[in-house]
Structure 1
Amino acid sequence: MAMVEGGAVYFVRTNHIGRPVFATDTSGAKVWEASHLPFGGVETTTGTPINLRFPGQ
């Protein structure tokens, strides 16, 4: 999946159930990473939070 924000393209990598895990820019550098907590919590470890949810939400 790709996301365009402010003219920049980010490639979002997901886990086996479709939850976003990390995003890279066009050069392949990791710009965002998150850990998912129980009951829907998200802990962002790098970058600014990206509001991505399960597909269909």
Structure 2
Amino acid sequence: MIKDAIVKFYTSVTIKNSKGNTHYREEKVENPLRLVIAKNKSRPEKEFWIIPNAIGSV
């Protein structure tokens, strides 16, 4: 394992103004997520970025 961290993500929300134009606004995702970065021993040049379903202790 290379890294095990708690991260916060942003998502975009579609908004239409009074003229009908579409805009996008960033909103922070309320719940933090766990990010695990790992490498395969047989292919060390390849990284795997994993976001598991639940947050455990970091």
With the shorter chain as reference, the TM-score category is: under 0.3
Larger Rg: 2
Q: Which has the higher contact order (CA 8 A, sep 6+)?
A: 2
Larger fraction in strand: 2
Larger fraction in helix: 1
